[in-house]
């Protein structure tokens, strides 16, 4: 790792010196991901020189497609029309489709006119598919063989094509080009050369459609643990392939999006994002949190008289809210993950909520009894201890209910459960926690007066 860091610093110095020959000689040891990180860290002038070198090595589009969107958007804003055309001349169609979103409609038209007709048609075909669909990211064309081919002929074709592209499975199509089966490499290697593929192939092929969402495709790949999945159109014609590597990228992006969403951040908010933009992204969520905090505090203000008689309550109100909030986040995380990975295809929503309520009840009783016993020996008040036990039990139930129901409801209404579930669940839990704790205390004060 230290050696790699040293080499990257060396390339930066070579860029400053403008030594293209030495950079070309040194650059081959780096992965695409390393070069992408380097490109994102360079200033305007050095990034242009680096782009020229990457174009010369036919690695430009592969490097740029790995860059964070904010950095890539800024990069495209300061490169010339000639550089963009050179990039479109060098890049793969599936990468160029991704770049199109960063250009105006006029620029898109000009760039499409600058490429070869075959590549132009490929790009236009990709653009017909919905955003965030398999069709936008699939590898195309894909290796396949007619199902009437023999094993010997198939191996001959396989040897030729394997020099040009990685091949995971041999997909079989009929005379109408429709996907009808799949043959593994092992089957080809161990079968008699005269055997036709249709006698070897498995006919239950797991595939996805071009309009399948990337999230759904990722779930299928993870569930079946395939290195790749064939992609078919509405006529069941084989048109592409989506690999496990691409799915891992999708999962990582989704995990980052979920992580950012839970704390009110945008995916584009990175360490190199301009301060003004970061403030713009974060301010609305800070305002929402402030509003929620004021709402919770207003509940406490309803019991100011009660707290003035029992100052001891101020020491314990945050215990009830804190434990309840943690219980809500635990339930929310389990349910949100279940929605993300498709667990609810095999388990009913009702059973999941009941399970979380049972867990909440058990945790509420145990934590409530623990807090009550500690309070009794610490403060010597049996009734205050009783209030804590009851309040923590009720609030834990409420926390489990909020943590499990809120993401399910948001998902039902086509809203991302990761975006606002946390804020809503913890705020509801805080409000109910303060209400139950101080409400029960007020009732005890009214019934028992000074003896309380």
Neighbours of 160 (CB within 10 A): 9
pLDDT at 278: 76
Give Cα 254 to chain centroid, integer Å: 0
Residue 329 tokens read as 């986040």
- Residues 305, 439: Cα–Cα separation, whole Å: 12
Is 292 part of a structural domain of the chain?
A: yes
Is 390 part of a structural domain of the chain?
A: yes
Q: What is the CATH number of the domain that holds 95?
A: 1.25.60.10
pLDDT at 26: 76
DSSP states of 367-436 as a string?
HHHHHHHHHHHHH--HHHHHHHHHHHHHHHHHHHHHHHHHHHHHHHTT--HHHHHHHHHHHHHHHHHHHH
Is 296 part of a structural domain of the chain?
A: yes
Closest Cα partner for 421 from 233, 264, 301? 264
pLDDT > 90? residue 369 = yes
What's the pLDDT tens digit per position in 248-294? 777 666 666 666 666 666 666 666 667 787 788 778 877 877 887 78
Same domain for 351 and 430?
A: yes
- Residues 177, 240: Cα–Cα separation, whole Å: 12
Q: What is the average pLDDT across 326-346?
A: 84
Which whole-number Å values give the CA distances from 219 to 236, 378, 399, in the listed order? Answer: 21, 51, 29
pLDDT at 3: 43
pLDDT at 14: 78
Exposed / middle / buried, residue 257 (Cβ in 10 Å: 0-12, 13-18, 19+)? middle
Exposed / middle / buried, residue 418 (Cβ in 10 Å: 0-12, 13-18, 19+)? buried
Local confidence band at 199 (pLDDT 50, 70, 90 cut-offs) = very high
- For residues 27 and 204, the model is more confident at 204
Percentage of residues in the chain with pLDDT exceeding 70? 90
pLDDT at 327: 92
Q: What is the average pLDDT across 389-407?
A: 93
Local confidence band at 238 (pLDDT 50, 70, 90 cut-offs) = very high
DSSP H or E run through 145: strand 144-146
Q: What is the average pLDDT across 216-220?
A: 85
The count of domains in the chain is 3
- Residues 297, 303: Cα–Cα separation, whole Å: 10
- Across 251-255, 372-376, 417-421, the highest mean pLDDT is recorded for 372-376
pLDDT at 366: 94
Same domain for 108 and 168?
A: no
Q: What is the average pLDDT across 46-67?
A: 88
Q: Give the pairing type, strands 170-173 and 228-232.
A: unpaired
pLDDT at 297: 79
Local confidence band at 146 (pLDDT 50, 70, 90 cut-offs) = very high
pLDDT at 378: 86
Closest Cα partner for 47 from 69, 77, 89? 77
Which whole-number Å values give the CA distances from 310 to 307, 317, 385, 449, in the listed order? Answer: 5, 12, 13, 11
pLDDT at 168: 81
* Greatest C-alpha distance within the chain: 97
pLDDT at 214: 84
Count of helix runs (H) and strand runs (E) in the chain? 21, 6
DSSP H or E run through 232: strand 228-232
pLDDT > 50? residue 2 = no
Same domain for 311 and 441?
A: yes
- Across 49-53, 246-250, 339-343, the highest mean pLDDT is recorded for 49-53
Local confidence band at 424 (pLDDT 50, 70, 90 cut-offs) = confident
263 — phi, psi (to 5°)? Answer: -110, 15
Is 255 part of a structural domain of the chain?
A: no
Same domain for 311 and 438?
A: yes
Same domain for 294 and 403?
A: yes
Residue 150 tokens read as 């023999």
Same domain for 304 and 439?
A: yes
How many residues belong to the chain? 452
Q: What is the average pLDDT across 81-93?
A: 90
Q: What is the average pLDDT across 327-334?
A: 90
Q: What is the CATH number of the domain that holds 298?
A: 1.10.357.20
Exposed / middle / buried, residue 294 (Cβ in 10 Å: 0-12, 13-18, 19+)? exposed
Which whole-number Å values give the CA distances from 181 to 38, 177, 207, 231, in the listed order? Answer: 43, 11, 11, 13
- For residues 19 and 349, the model is more confident at 349
Which whole-number Å values give the CA distances from 199 to 88, 158, 167, in the listed order? Answer: 44, 18, 21
- For residues 404 and 267, the model is more confident at 404
Residue where a domain terminates, one of 223, 244, 265: 244
Task: Provide the mean pLDDT of the chain.
Answer: 84
Question: Cis before residue 141, ω within 30 degrees of 0?
Answer: yes
Same domain for 309 and 196?
A: no
pTM of the model: 0.58
Local confidence band at 331 (pLDDT 50, 70, 90 cut-offs) = very high
Closest Cα partner for 245 from 230, 258, 232, 227? 227
* Sequence-distant (≥ 6) Cβ neighbours of residue 175 within 8 angstroms: 146
Domain span including residue 378: 275-451
Same domain for 189 and 90?
A: no
Question: C-alpha angle with apex 284: 281 to 285, nearest 5 degrees?
Answer: 90
Q: What is the CATH number of the domain that holds 166?
A: 3.10.580.10
Is 267 part of a structural domain of the chain?
A: no
Is 13 part of a structural domain of the chain?
A: yes
pLDDT at 179: 94
Q: What is the average pLDDT across 319-330?
A: 89
Same domain for 93 and 169?
A: no
* Sequence-distant (≥ 6) Cβ neighbours of residue 214 within 8 angstroms: 132, 133, 134, 136, 137, 250
403 with 332: CB under 8 angstroms?
A: yes
pLDDT at 358: 95
**Beta bridge mates, 145:** 172
Is 177 part of a structural domain of the chain?
A: yes
Is 270 part of a structural domain of the chain?
A: no
Same domain for 345 and 388?
A: yes
- Residues 86, 302: Cα–Cα separation, whole Å: 68
- Residues 247, 329: Cα–Cα separation, whole Å: 27
Same domain for 367 and 290?
A: yes
pLDDT > 80? residue 354 = yes
- Across 23-37, 40-54, 142-156, 303-317, the highest mean pLDDT is recorded for 142-156
207 with 229: CB under 8 angstroms?
A: yes
Same domain for 84 and 26?
A: yes
pLDDT at 1: 46
């Amino acid at each position: 790792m230290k050696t790699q860091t040293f080499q990257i610093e060396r390339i930066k110095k070579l860029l400053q010196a403008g030594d293209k020959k030495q950079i070309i000689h040194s650059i081959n040891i780096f992965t695409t991901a390393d070069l992408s990180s380097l490109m994102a860290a360079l200033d305007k002038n050095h990034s242009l020189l680096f782009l020229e070198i990457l174009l010369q090595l036919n690695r430009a589009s592969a490097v740029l497609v790995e860059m964070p969107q904010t950095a890539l958007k800024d990069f495209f804003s300061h490169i010339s029309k000639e550089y963009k055309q050179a990039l479109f001349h060098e890049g793969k169609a599936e990468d160029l489709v991704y770049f199109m979103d960063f250009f105006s409609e006029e620029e898109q038209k000009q760039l499409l006119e600058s490429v070869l007709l075959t590549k132009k048609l490929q790009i236009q075909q990709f653009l017909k598919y919905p955003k965030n669909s398999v069709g936008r990211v699939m590898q195309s064309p894909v290796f396949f063989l007619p199902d009437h081919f023999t094993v010997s002929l198939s191996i001959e074709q396989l040897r030729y094509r394997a020099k040009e592209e990685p091949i995971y499975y041999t997909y079989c199509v009929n005379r109408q080009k429709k996907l009808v089966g799949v043959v593994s490499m092992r089957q080809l290697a161990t079968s008699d050369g005269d055997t036709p593929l249709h006698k070897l192939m498995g006919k239950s092929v797991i595939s996805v459609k071009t309009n399948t969402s990337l999230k759904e495709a990722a779930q299928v790949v993870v569930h079946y643990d395939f290195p790749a999945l064939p992609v078919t159109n509405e006529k069941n014609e084989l048109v592409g392939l989506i690999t496990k590597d691409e799915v891992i990228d999708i999962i990582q992006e989704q995990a980052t999006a979920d992580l950012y969403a839970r704390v009110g951040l945008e995916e584009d908010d990175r360490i190199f994002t301009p301060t003004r933009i970061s403030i713009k992204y974060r301010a609305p969520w800070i305002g929402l949190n402030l509003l929620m905090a004021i709402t919770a505090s207003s509940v406490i203000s309803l019991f100011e008289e009660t707290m003035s008689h029992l100052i001891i309550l101020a020491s314990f109100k945050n215990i009830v809210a804190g434990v309840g909030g943690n219980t809500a986040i635990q339930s929310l995380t389990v349910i949100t993950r279940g929605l993300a990975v498709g667990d609810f295809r095999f388990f009913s929503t009702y059973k999941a909520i009941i399970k979380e309520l049972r867990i909440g009840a058990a945790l509420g009783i145990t934590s409530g009894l623990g807090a009550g016993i500690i309070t009794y020996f610490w403060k010597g008040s049996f009734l205050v201890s009783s209030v804590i036990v009851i309040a923590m039990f009720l609030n834990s139930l409420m926390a489990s209910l909020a943590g499990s129901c809120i993401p399910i409801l948001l998902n039902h209404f086509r809203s991302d459960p990761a975006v606002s579930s946390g804020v809503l669940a913890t705020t509801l839990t805080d409000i109910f926690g303060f209400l139950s704790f101080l409400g029960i205390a007020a009732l005890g004060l009214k019934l028992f007066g000074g003896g309380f």
